[in-house]
């Protein structure tokens, strides 16, 4: 394997950083991208590759500021050597000033904080301008076609291999960012609309349930009112106070005490009907004596007041069974 024969070393050990670039395999085609001769337009090998890189970094920061991934400050060969020795990904960025919308790409993409953090953690980041000798040399070696150009290089099968390339124009990249931002904004709006629709439906369902409940309650109130009105007809006439067969009842309903006379021959059900016909009576209740406490109604058999053991004067209690 002669693939990495010309890989660079740290500058203090480098024999000649101006020599031809090291061989790099493109994994997608298994072709070795290597260019030894000078450029067709007369641009030769750089006399100082490191100075080309430092000059690019300086001009980049003058144009776009310091918000960018950490640039590797060395030649391409040295970057390859360090990436190989450290077993790290090498991300190569080739810059061209005349590329369309390059300013927006540098500020919006390379200046993105998440991208900066990702590149700094996972890669060595080497960059240069293709209009310099070192940048042109690397562009020829990697066969870059359009700019900005990105390539990911890593040690694979003991070879420094290109495992990823990005050769799209800056305008395409910018449009992609804009499209992505638009899609994210659209998804966010759709999610807001979906949540609003769910909340609207939930409110409507809740209102419908409450309305249905109110209607049911109102219907129940009306039913009970009608039943009380019909029950009045079942109550026997009240005897005169002087009637010897009269039973004088004091009936405690909550904090209110009601008085009513019945004949001793009237039934406990007659007393129940009279209590139920009162507007403030409970819907479901029992009738008990005071002491000792006995449940008079409801009962299995319908007794007269006399048969139930009541005297001519009694105090009864109404207990709400729904409490």
123 and 258 both lie in a single domain: no
Q: What is the dihedral of CA 36, 42, 47, 50, to 10 degrees?
A: -80
3-state secondary structure of 33: strand
Q: Span 117-121, mean pLDDT?
A: 94
* φ and ψ at residue 174, rounded to 5 degrees: -65, -45
Highest-confidence segment of 54-63, 137-146, 148-157 = 54-63
How far apart are the C-alpha atoms of 93 and 139, rounded to whole Å? 10
C-alpha distances in Å from residue 43, one per residue of 135, 137, 305? 11, 9, 126
Contacts of 118 (CB under 8 A, 6+ apart): none
pLDDT for residue 42: 43
80 and 216 both lie in a single domain: no
Q: Does some domain include residue 156?
A: yes
pLDDT for residue 140: 92
Number of domains in the chain: 3
CA-atom Rg of the chain in angstroms? 48
How far apart are the C-alpha atoms of 283 and 275, rounded to whole Å? 10
CB neighbourhood size of 108 (10 A):
16
Averaged pLDDT score across all residues of the chain: 83
3-state secondary structure of 61: helix
How far apart are the C-alpha atoms of 111 and 316, rounded to whole Å? 89
* CATH, residue 305: 3.10.20.90
160 and 206 both lie in a single domain: no
Tell me the whole-structure pTM to 2 decimals.
0.45
Sign of the CA dihedral with 238 first, then 240, 246, and 247 last: positive
Owning domain of residue 299: 246-320
How far apart are the C-alpha atoms of 236 and 176, rounded to whole Å? 91
| Cβ 262 vs Cβ 275: under 8 Å | no
Phi-psi sector, 303: left (phi>0), alpha (psi -120 to 50), beta = beta
Place of tokens 């810059």: 95
pLDDT per position as a tens digit, 236-269 = 999 999 999 999 999 998 888 999 999 999 999 9
Q: Span 186-193, mean pLDDT?
A: 90
* CATH, residue 159: 3.40.30.10
Domain boundary among 143, 168, 193: 168
Q: Does some domain include residue 240?
A: no
- Going by DSSP bridges, is the β-strand pair 149-156/159-166 parallel, antiparallel, or unpaired? antiparallel
288 and 155 both lie in a single domain: no
pLDDT for residue 86: 92
pLDDT for residue 17: 43
160 and 264 both lie in a single domain: no
């Amino acid at each position: 394997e002669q693939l990495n024969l010309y890989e660079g070393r740290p500058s203090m050990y480098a024999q000649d950083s101006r020599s031809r670039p090291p061989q790099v395999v493109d994994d997608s085609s298994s072709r070795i991208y290597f260019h030894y001769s000078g450029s067709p337009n007369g641009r030769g090998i750089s006399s100082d590759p490191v100075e080309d890189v430092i000059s690019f970094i300086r001009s980049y920061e003058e144009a776009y500021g310091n918000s960018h991934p950490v640039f590797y400050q060395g030649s391409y060969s040295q970057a390859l050597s360090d990436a190989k020795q450290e077993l790290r990904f090498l991300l190569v960025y080739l810059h061209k000033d005349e590329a369309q919308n390059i300013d927006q790409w540098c500020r919006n993409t390379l200046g993105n904080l998440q991208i900066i953090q990702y590149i700094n953690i996972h890669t060595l980041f080497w960059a240069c301008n293709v209009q310099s000798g070192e940048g042109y040399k690397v562009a020829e070696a990697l066969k870059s076609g359009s700019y900005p150009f990105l390539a990911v290089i890593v040690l694979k099968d003991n070879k420094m291999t290109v495992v990823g390339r990005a050769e799209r124009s800056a305008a395409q990249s910018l449009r992609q960012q804009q499209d992505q931002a638009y899609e994210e904004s659209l998804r966010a709006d759709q999610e807001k609309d979906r949540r609003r629709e769910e909340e609207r439906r939930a409110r409507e369902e809740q209102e419908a349930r409450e309305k249905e409940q109110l209607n049911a309650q109102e219907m129940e109130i009306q039913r009970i009112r009608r039943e009380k009105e019909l029950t009045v007809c079942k109550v026997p006439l009240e005897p005169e106070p002087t009637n010897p067969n009269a039973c004088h009842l004091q009936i405690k309903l909550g904090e209110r005490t009601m008085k009513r006379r019945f004949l001793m021959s009237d039934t406990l059900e007659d007393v129940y009907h009279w209590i139920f016909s009162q507007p403030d009576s409970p819907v479901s209740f029992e009738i008990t004596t005071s002491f000792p406490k006995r449940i008079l109604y409801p009962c299995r058999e319908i007794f007269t007041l006399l048969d139930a053991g009541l005297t001519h004067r009694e105090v009864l209690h109404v207990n709400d069974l729904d409490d």
